[in-house]
Structure 1
């Protein structure tokens, strides 16, 4: 017979990769939000789940169970084969640790495949994530990176993350670049997915002496930053990156690749068009139509994003501890590493 494992027991595992979580909910439920790192092996597909749900509501619980059994019976050999091909320890979960995960764990047990069931399912996990964001203490020193649009902040932080630095890539976790054009070409995440990924990163970095993240606004696309991050921003080490306008234009064109989604960018521009002086807006629109993207970006920076950033920066009382003036994002990244290393060296000596 299978065993239950609690969210707390799973969270306490030294290396969670030793226990693979398998989400047996439908594909659409999995796409909406799941536990990071989990694999989707659905007991029912979306259409089957809808059919059973209709029977449950309009006919009877028994009718729904009988139809569910009929569907599962037909796909059972392939279902079992998929699980048997997974060598590591497994734990299955559904929405609230109910019939789907119980059925899966029971059948696997009968076939000699050991699998835990995550007690409480995804609902219990979501409650745990919310609790962590409400109660977690971040004791690391925080380096908060500022800079006008196009200063290469995200590119710099992602390179540092690849090198093993403790970086919270907030835009990456949100699936959004934070501007009116920020969702184009990306899959924007909802709040549940963002929170889960953030908590995962925070646990991974719990033993580090510091964290790095960008000075984002409270909202990034569809998500809202938790008080935990907003509070750490306030008492962080604030670093401003300044690049020449032409370098920022190059960085934006490189990051956004506007030619890949030209229609989407032209459509998104309509949402801010009325906020820009009419002749300038007309010129930006003409540049986008002619695919003169660098010219359009430069006008957007000078007449829209830079004034907006200056206004936003003026609302915060966070003085810049360091200012990096560089000719490129790459040079700025090297200087940023030097600032962090020097600060942490002095900080360690004072201890």
Structure 2
């Protein structure tokens, strides 16, 4: 008689339509999770910390006993939540995972099986997913793809170009979107920055979607975007890939930045960012910027920041590149997009 299957590997899981539950703490889940997984924390952040301390100070037996005492009253709620999700997702196999495929996921999957819900435990937990990401990046680095880099001054609508290209099924890697940050000191305004593991999970999922493309399209980025570090195999695209440098009128850049950041809603954050730049801007220009903020003249704020800081900084950085570069200029976004698209088509063909 064939033994009933109780576990599943990450390779068996990926690409399939399972009903995933992450039983780690809310803090662990927030850092990153397997795409599609629903949070089913059996310990709060504080309870997890308490059990970890108990394990170190008194040993495994005491930690397990305390853990059982915490989880036992929650079992009915856990059972009801899984049943509810099953009703909303008929026919899907339930999979439970924790950090490393240890006590948390094993205890919940076994208990749910006893209560009549067929569950599988993910072998290795989310760590097995993490290893898949690391291995995938390693292979990407060994088998480098051709990279097309969209570059240009701050506010030159690079992200908008990438979004439209991606909507038309070009193999775009929108690094700023994946990072939840637009880059620069102002880049976190109105955004929710991702932790490194969440960023790498998002990048991994996107790269898998376009893994059969012989080339990638990215924006020229620094090594770090907000809280995350860009993998080296993508950074090298800045120096060795084909670059398309976009140019639009200065006033158009200013208006676009104001539209994107909507500064009237983020005045305090903008003032905080300006204070961080204080040492890099001359006192007269800083005073001019501060006065413009007081007067809600954000186009003037943006103009002064571009003229005194961002444009000179970009010009200096650009001198480091010696790869092939194509210049594209336009006075409307539609014209710019069509020209960039035409250049990409020429490059890839």
Q: Which runs of structure 2 are paired with 1:301-320 in the superposition (5 Å)?
A: 301-320=306-325
Deviation at 1:61, TM superposition (A): 2.7
Q: Which runs of structure 2 are paired with 1:1-351 in the superposition (5 Å)?
A: 3-11=6-14, 15-16=15-16, 18-84=17-83, 85-86=85-86, 87=89, 88-136=92-140, 137=142, 140-320=145-325, 322-344=326-348, 347=349
Change in CA separation of 1:170 and 1:138 when aligned onto 2, cut-off 3 Å: farther
Q: Tell me if the contact between 1:2 and 1:106 (Cα under 8 Å) persists in the aligned partners.
A: no
SS of the residue corresponding to residue 276 of structure 2 reads coil
Structure 2 residue ranges without an equivalent (≥5)? none
Q: Tell me if the contact between 2:154 and 2:253 (Cα under 8 Å) persists in the aligned partners.
A: yes
Normalised by the size of structure 1, how large is the TM-score?
Answer: 0.90
Q: Tell me if the contact between 2:181 and 2:192 (Cα under 8 Å) persists in the aligned partners.
A: yes
Q: Distance in 1 between matches of 2:308 and 2:274?
A: 13
Q: Distance in 2 between matches of 1:162 and 1:267?
A: 35
Q: Tell me if the contact between 2:105 and 2:121 (Cα under 8 Å) persists in the aligned partners.
A: yes
Q: Distance in 2 between matches of 1:114 and 1:142?
A: 46
Deviation at 1:140, TM superposition (A): 4.3
Deviation at 1:274, TM superposition (A): 2.0
Q: Distance in 2 between matches of 1:231 and 1:279?
A: 38
The 10-residue stretch of structure 1 (261-270 or 45-54) with the greater mean CA deviation from structure 2: 45-54
Q: Distance in 2 between matches of 1:234 and 1:200?
A: 25
Q: Distance in 2 between matches of 1:312 and 1:36?
A: 36
Deviation at 1:138, TM superposition (A): 5.0
Q: Tell me if the contact between 2:221 and 2:235 (Cα under 8 Å) persists in the aligned partners.
A: no
Q: Tell me if the contact between 1:151 and 1:242 (Cα under 8 Å) persists in the aligned partners.
A: yes
Q: Tell me if the contact between 1:2 and 1:114 (Cα under 8 Å) persists in the aligned partners.
A: no
Q: Distance in 2 between matches of 1:233 and 1:3?
A: 47
- CA-based RMSD of the aligned residues comes to 1.9
Q: Distance in 2 between matches of 1:337 and 1:115?
A: 48
Deviation at 1:139, TM superposition (A): 5.6
Deviation at 1:123, TM superposition (A): 2.3
SS of the residue corresponding to residue 47 of structure 1 reads helix
Deviation at 1:60, TM superposition (A): 4.1
Q: Distance in 1 between matches of 2:194 and 2:68?
A: 34
Once the two structures are superposed, residues 16-60 of structure 1 have per-residue CA deviations (whole angstroms, 9 ceiling, x without a partner) of 4x1243211010111122223322111122232233333333444
Deviation at 1:154, TM superposition (A): 0.7
Deviation at 1:164, TM superposition (A): 3.0
Change in CA separation of 1:109 and 1:201 when aligned onto 2, cut-off 3 Å: same
Deviation at 1:165, TM superposition (A): 2.6
The 10-residue stretch of structure 1 (195-204 or 78-87) with the greater mean CA deviation from structure 2: 78-87
Once the two structures are superposed, residues 134-185 of structure 1 have per-residue CA deviations (whole angstroms, 9 ceiling, x without a partner) of 2225564322101000000011212222333321010111111111111122
Structure 1 residue ranges without an equivalent (≥5)? none
Q: Distance in 2 between matches of 1:105 and 1:119?
A: 12
Runs of 4+ in 1 over 6 A off after TM superposition: none
Q: Distance in 2 between matches of 1:266 and 1:104?
A: 49
The 10-residue stretch of structure 1 (145-154 or 170-179) with the greater mean CA deviation from structure 2: 170-179
Q: Tell me if the contact between 2:241 and 2:324 (Cα under 8 Å) persists in the aligned partners.
A: no
